[in-house]
Amino acid sequence: DQQVKQNSPSLSVQEGRISILNCDYTNSMFDYFLWYKKYPAEGPTFLISISSIKDKNEDGRFTVFLNKSAKHLSLHIVPSQPGDSAVYFCAASPNSGGSNYKLTFGKGTLLTVNP
Amino acid sequence: ETGVTQTPRHLVMGMTNKKSLKCEQHLGHNAMYWYKQSAKKPLELMFVYSLEERVENNSVPSRFSPECPNSSHLFLHLHTLQPEDSALYLCASSQDNRGNEKLFFGSGTQLSVL
């Protein structure tokens, strides 16, 4: 049973527009969420995170929104650039201060940004 | 070199072979991990080492045998694998294995079992 779900395997957007990647989770114990980005032939790299005490975290063109009541988070990329084309993984971890190795990943969403 | 380095990048092996995957981190981290990524599946945690001690074995078959000789090196010894074990094997490290820390991943070893 998947606890972290990324229901869109792929997403295609035009350069300059907004990309919105979605993630749903089922485990109410999750309280820390991360997004990783993966280019082909490379390992995932950390992008942005959010704690459950917040509903928004912003870092440059990247913003993560958390809706705890809906158990939903989203990653917004504005404006999207061709270099953002990659697979984006959502990950979740239970209780802040707990063990890092409880990180649970989604299957990923392939984002393609067209010039 | 910096970051997390994995070798080999690609590996093809028969079911009766024995091979090893190697991971080295140059970040001074205390925790290291093996993850498996199969096609169309989420990353699955296999093993966690903290300060060279195994702290998690996520129900992984014994045909996968990890080894952590020091905090900078991690191996995954493979023997009598099955074709369904074909996947991308990713090594990662973090400063420690508690708290909400970022994982730093290597580029992975793409394994094919024939």
Tokens read off for B4: 């997390």
- The percentage of chain B sitting over the pLDDT mark of 70, rounded to a whole number, equals 96
Question: What phi, psi does A102 have (nearest 5°)?
Answer: -90, 15
Q: Is the pLDDT of residue B95 over 80?
A: yes
Which pLDDT tens digits describe chain A residue by residue (115 residues)?
789 999 999 999 999 999 999 999 999 989 899 999 999 888 999 999 999 999 999 999 999 999 999 999 999 999 999 999 999 999 998 865 555 567 889 999 999 999 9
Q: What is the distance in angstroms between the Cα of A91 and the nearest Cα belonging to chain B?
A: 10
Please count the other Cβ atoms lying within 10 Å of the Cβ belonging to residue B70: 9
What residue in A sits closest to B39 (Cα-Cα)?
A: A107
pLDDT for res A71 = 96
| Mean pLDDT for the stretch of residues B95-100 | 74
Q: Which chain B residues contact residue A103 at CB under 8 A?
A: 45, 103
Q: Is the pLDDT of residue B101 over 90?
A: no
Contact A35, A61 (CB under 8 A): no
| Mean pLDDT for the stretch of residues B8-16 | 92
pLDDT for res A101 = 62
B108/A32 CB distance under 8 A: no
CA distance A95 to B103: 17
pLDDT for res B52 = 79
Q: Do β-strands A109-114 and A10-14 pair in parallel, antiparallel, or remain unpaired?
A: parallel
Taking the alpha carbons of A106, A110, A111, B1 in that order, is the dihedral positive or negative?
A: positive
CA distance B97 to B81: 29
User: What does the mean pLDDT of chain B come to?
Assistant: 90
CA distance A2 to A23: 12
| Mean pLDDT for the stretch of residues B53-73 | 88
Q: Which chain A residues contact residue B99 at CB under 8 A?
A: 96-98, 100
What residue in A sits closest to B38 (Cα-Cα)?
A: A107
pLDDT for res A99 = 59
Q: What is the DSSP track for A25-86?
A: E--TTEEEEEEEEE-TTS--EEEEEEETT-SEEEETTEEEEEETTTTEEEEEESS--GGG-E
Cα radius of gyration rounded to whole Å, chain B: 13
pLDDT for res B58 = 73
